[in-house]
């Protein structure tokens, strides 16, 4: 794809191989840079955690209490988008708002839940 995107930079009077190798070198360099950035954010563990909210009885009441701390609009936004899996545009229509406003509601609800938990 990089070759296709860069095809307008090729000059037929110049050799083809250096042009191809320059594109290949940039692709490899970009890939390595992305890998290193991703690697700095990853936390490797021996095995994934075994517990979930359903299995851990003491977390469920805390989560329910935190959700009660949200406004009605935020609870509705979280329920539509995350629990019911409704697409953003459709959820916005159901909530009687715009898609952008619904995304803001969900974001603010996440932020508040983080503070409450």
pLDDT given at position 51: 60
* Ranges of each domain in the chain: 2-41, 59-116
CA–CA separation, 39 vs 98, rounded Å?
A: 37
- Indicate yes or no: pTM above 0.85: no
Confirm if 91 and 106 have CB atoms less than 8 A apart: no
pLDDT over 70 (residue 56) = no
According to the model, what pLDDT value does residue 84 have? 87
Tokens representing 20?
A: 């191809």
3-state secondary structure of 48: coil
Q: What is the per-residue pLDDT across 65-112, written as a single tens digit (0 to 9) for each?
A: 888 888 999 999 988 988 888 899 999 999 999 999 999 999 999 899
Q: What does CATH list as the number for 59-116?
A: 1.10.10.10
pLDDT classification of 34: cutoffs 50, 70, 90: very high
Rounded to an integer, what distance in angstroms lies between the CA atom of residue 65 and that of residue 72?
A: 14
Given pLDDT bands bounded at 50, 70 and 90, which one contains residue 53?
Answer: low
């Amino acid at each position: 794809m990089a070759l296709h995107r860069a095809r307008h930079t090729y000059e037929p009077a110049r050799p083809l191989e250096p042009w191809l190798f320059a594109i290949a070198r940039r692709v490899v360099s970009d890939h390595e840079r992305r890998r290193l950035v991703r690697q700095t954010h990853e936390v490797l563990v021996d095995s994934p955690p075994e517990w979930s909210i359903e299995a851990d009885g003491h977390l469920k009441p805390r989560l329910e209490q935190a959700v009660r701390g949200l406004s009605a609009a935020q609870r509705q936004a979280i329920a539509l988008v995350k629990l019911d899996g409704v697409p953003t545009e459709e959820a916005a229509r159901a909530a009687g708002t715009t898609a952008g406003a619904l995304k803001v509601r969900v974001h603010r609800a996440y932020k508040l839940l983080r503070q409450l938990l």
